Amino acid sequence: MKSFRKAGCLGMLLLSLVVVVPALALVSEVDPADPGSTAPVASVGGIPARMMTAYVRAAGMMSTLVPGCRGMAWQVIAGIGKVESDHADGHKIADDGLITPPIIGLRLDGSGKGGNTTPVRDSDGGRWDGDTEFDHAVGPMQFLPATFAGYADRVRPGGGANPNNADDESLATALYLCGDGRDLTDTEQLKKAIYSYNYSSAYVDEVIGWIHQYTSLGSSVPTGDVSDTVKQVINAAASQIGVDYSWGGGNEQGKSYGVCCSKGGQDGSKVLGFDCSGLMLFAFGKVGVHLPRTADQQAGIGQRIPASAGIAALQPGDMVFFGNGSEGIYHVGLYIGGGQMINAPKPGDHVKQAAVWTYDYAGGARVVQ
Amino acid sequence: MSKHPVFLPALGAAVLLVTGLALLVPGTPTRPTAAAPAATAPAAEEPGPTDTGSAESPSTEPPPTPNTPVAAPAAVSASAPSASTQPTATAMPSGIAAAGDGPEGDAAVQAAFTRDHPSDLPAADAAQLTHLAGEVWTAETTGTGRSRWPGYFPAEQSPAASFYYSNVRIQATAAHTEQDRPDRVQVDLLWVGTTPAGSYGDHRPATVHLTRTASNWEPVR
């Protein structure tokens, strides 16, 4: 993610307008009646609209291209796209789907870089990866050139398929996952399909987590315009994006020096900033709501949004919590809609906007609306 | 089963457990009661209040567990806040690490995990098998060491570039028998890693299944 550490106060103000307003606007775009449709979900989960179009289109074509395939949805392709390239983050996507500059992965020369210890000799004459000796994964779904070549004719029967075209690679991904006609509504078959894409249980967990997240968001109830109070809370948090994380830092007046020391050894007394709950103190303090100091305490007030309801039950302005059975609540962020939150994530980091984590989600608390 | 001295890991685990439990006892030197939440509250990730002000308790209700909703003590709104806790001067070190708190916070994570996942195995066996599971999971996430278990990790090339995490670290482990079978063990663990796209995460849950062979323990899916 980009760093905003050097942004001044004016920069923060401008940033808040840029970040928050779209984040709020996208929530009202979700259509609960048709979560799979193209336009209404165009901004869900921070997915660029053009990538979403590619995902929805590819999923929709499976009923024709692989009639035996069941359960292919845009969320499945989006899960792969999120994990592989964060939906082509940092790249431009033209109206025709072409991604520039092209997404080209590490050189797979077996050197161990990036964990690659098995060399993959060139298969495309350097056409897609610019390397005539070894292959690189290419495109937003990070296909190997040889694999993509096997789908090129089905993706564009007239020729011209390009792995750095969002439509082409999304369609190749859908075709690969559908195989000869998998039933992806069956969780075990879905997991096997993802595992076949990349032989790693951690990878499967990661993709499944995002599929669930997008599925939940795609069926969430539109919240419409948020109140001025909620806007003030979100704008207050957004105005602090880029401020350092400080263990024990932050109060209703703003950033402050924290205390020594976190379990991991951060001396907050030397860092001016916020910890996760300190950021909540500041944001909600702007509207006269005085919160307790720590995340687990903050989880105990207001209207509780149970984790079992999923993140679709959250509304912008809710606090969103993370925890597990052994440690309890250990983190809090401010939900801003569309599966996104503003939070002070960890020592050594800074306040930022991020997707709601796909694990340890512990529900929310609503103290303003 | 154990071919190596195991008393040191076992002793370490015991020390961690005792330390972790001690941190949860109200009134211990590291957890001043004045700023503590309700006695039944789970440990918080952050330190407590940092400057002067009221020490009023924010709530009489214990915080919720992750999956259990709690009755709201009061509906808080901008016009009628129910909690008013101003920071106080005393830090309140918690019993657990913050999200992303680094390797030095792992002992606290392990202590809490051990408390929540008590093992039914002899300490020496648990230490050996959790170590093995950690190696398997490291191979799973980084690719390093996969050749040790060729039956568990297929050798063929996947259609996409291998997806390996960086800066992988095992934060906590817990082993227990599976399906009441003496030849099967399940190891639950929490781990840290960064995806190739740069997405950091810790407290990531995972499970490794192990089965006893004629001469060893091997991972199985």
Number of Cβ pairs < 8 A linking chain A and chain B: 337
Confidence of residue B189 (pLDDT cuts 50, 70, 90): very high
Residue A102: other Cβ atoms inside 10 A: 17
Collapsing DSSP to helix, strand or coil, A238 comes out as: helix
Cβ <8 Å between B66 and A360: yes
Asked if the C-beta of B158 comes within 8 angstroms of chain A's C-beta atoms, the answer is yes
Nearest CA in chain B to A333: B99
Q: Which of B111, A263, A286 lies closest to A275, judged by CA?
A: A263
Asked if the C-beta of B15 comes within 8 angstroms of chain A's C-beta atoms, the answer is no
The mean pLDDT value for A4-20 works out to 32
Residue B22 has pLDDT above 70, yes or no: no
Tokens of A285: 């303090």
Asked if the C-beta of B150 comes within 8 angstroms of chain A's C-beta atoms, the answer is no
Contacts of B101 in chain A (CB under 8 A): 262-266, 346-347
Asked if the C-beta of B54 comes within 8 angstroms of chain A's C-beta atoms, the answer is no
DSSP output for A292-345: -SSHHHHTTSSEEE-GGG-GGG--TT-EEEEEETTTEEEEEEEEEETTEEEE--
Whether the CB-CB separation of B42 and B63 falls below 8 Å is answered with yes
Confidence of residue A315 (pLDDT cuts 50, 70, 90): very high
Q: What is the pLDDT of residue B162?
A: 77
Looking at the complex, report in whole angstroms how far the Cα of residue B19 sits from the nearest Cα belonging to chain A: 13
Using one digit for the tens of pLDDT, what is the confidence trace for A219-264?
554 455 789 999 999 999 999 999 999 999 999 999 999 999 888 8
Contacts of A368 in chain B (CB under 8 A): 76-78
Q: Which helix (H) or strand (E) holds B9?
A: helix B7-23
Tokens of A43: 């901004």
Cβ <8 Å between B161 and A307: no
Contacts of B78 in chain A (CB under 8 A): 229, 287-289, 368
A53 or A111, greater pLDDT: A53
Whether the CB-CB separation of A363 and A305 falls below 8 Å is answered with yes
Percent of chain B with pLDDT over 90: 37
Percent of chain A with pLDDT over 90: 70
What pTM, to 2 d.p., does this model score?
Answer: 0.69
Lowest-confidence segment of A39-53, A248-262, B44-58 by average pLDDT: B44-58
Q: Which of A193, A134, A79, A171 lies closest to B161, judged by CA?
A: A134
Using one digit for the tens of pLDDT, what is the confidence trace for B145-158?
888 999 998 776 66
The mean pLDDT value for A271-282 works out to 96
Using one digit for the tens of pLDDT, what is the confidence trace for A71-104?
999 999 999 999 999 999 999 999 999 999 999 9
Helices A166-178 & A74-85 angle (0-180, nearest 10): 110
Nearest CA in chain B to A136: B161
The mean pLDDT value for A322-344 works out to 91
Q: Which of A339, A53, A86 lies closest to A219, judged by CA?
A: A339
Q: What is the pLDDT of residue A12?
A: 33
Residue A20 has pLDDT above 80, yes or no: no
A165 or A200, greater pLDDT: A165
Looking at the complex, report in whole angstroms how far the Cα of residue B20 sits from the nearest Cα belonging to chain A: 11
Asked if the C-beta of B102 comes within 8 angstroms of chain A's C-beta atoms, the answer is yes
Residue A310: other Cβ atoms inside 10 A: 18
Tokens of A95: 């109206």
What is the Cα–Cα distance from A167 to A155, expressed in whole angstroms? 9
Nearest CA in chain A to B115: A326
The mean pLDDT value for A110-131 works out to 87
Residue B1 has pLDDT above 60, yes or no: no
Q: Which of B46, B99, B206 sits opposite A205 (nearest CB)?
A: B206
Q: Which of B62, B100, B160 sits opposite A300 (nearest CB)?
A: B62
Nearest CA in chain A to B74: A302
Percent of chain A with pLDDT over 70: 86
Tokens of B56: 């009023």
Confidence of residue A43 (pLDDT cuts 50, 70, 90): low
Residue A28 has pLDDT above 60, yes or no: no
Q: Beta strand A319-324 with A361-366: parallel, antiparallel or unpaired? A: antiparallel
Q: Which helix (H) or strand (E) holds B177?
A: strand B166-178
Q: What is the pLDDT of residue B94?
A: 52
Contacts of A198 in chain B (CB under 8 A): 158, 160, 162-163
Q: Which of A193, A30, A264 lies closest to B93, judged by CA?
A: A264
Angle CA A256–A257–A260, to nearest 5: 145
B55 or A343, greater pLDDT: A343
Give one word for A360, left, alpha or beta, with left for phi > 0 and alpha for psi -120 to 50. left
A366 or B97, greater pLDDT: A366
Looking at the complex, report in whole angstroms how far the Cα of residue A14 sits from the nearest Cα belonging to chain B: 25
Contacts of A147 in chain B (CB under 8 A): 159-160
Instruction: Write down the ipTM of this complex.
Output: 0.72
A365 or B45, greater pLDDT: A365
Residue B2: other Cβ atoms inside 10 A: 12
Q: What is the pLDDT of residue B157?
A: 63
Q: Which helix (H) or strand (E) holds B3?
A: none
DSSP output for A257-304: E--B--TT--BGGG-EEB-HHHHHHHHHHTTT----SSHHHHTTSSEE
Beta-bridge mates of residue B204: B191
Q: Which of A105, A328, A330 sits opposite B161 (nearest CB)?
A: A105
Confidence of residue A114 (pLDDT cuts 50, 70, 90): confident
DSSP output for A146-170: HHHHTTHHHH-TTS---TTBHHHHH
B8 or A288, greater pLDDT: A288
Angle CA A53–A36–A164, to nearest 5: 25
Contacts of B49 in chain A (CB under 8 A): 293
Composition of chain A by helix, strand, coil, percent to 5: 40, 15, 45
Cβ <8 Å between B73 and A300: yes
Residue B205 has pLDDT above 80, yes or no: yes
Looking at the complex, report in whole angstroms how far the Cα of residue B214 sits from the nearest Cα belonging to chain A: 26
A321 or A266, greater pLDDT: A321
Using one digit for the tens of pLDDT, what is the confidence trace for B63-83?
344 333 333 333 343 333 333
Contacts of B109 in chain A (CB under 8 A): 327
Confidence of residue B95 (pLDDT cuts 50, 70, 90): low
Q: Which of B83, B159, B197 sits opposite A147 (nearest CB)?
A: B159
Mean pLDDT taken over chain B: 67
Using one digit for the tens of pLDDT, what is the confidence trace for B105-130?
899 899 999 999 999 999 999 999 99
A321 or A220, greater pLDDT: A321
Angle CA B4–B10–B13, to nearest 5: 140
Contacts of B84 in chain A (CB under 8 A): 290
A17 or A44, greater pLDDT: A44
Residue A173 has pLDDT above 60, yes or no: yes
Q: What is the pLDDT of residue A119?
A: 86
Q: Which of B37, B46, B108 sits opposite A248 (nearest CB)?
A: B46
Looking at the complex, report in whole angstroms how far the Cα of residue A300 sits from the nearest Cα belonging to chain B: 4
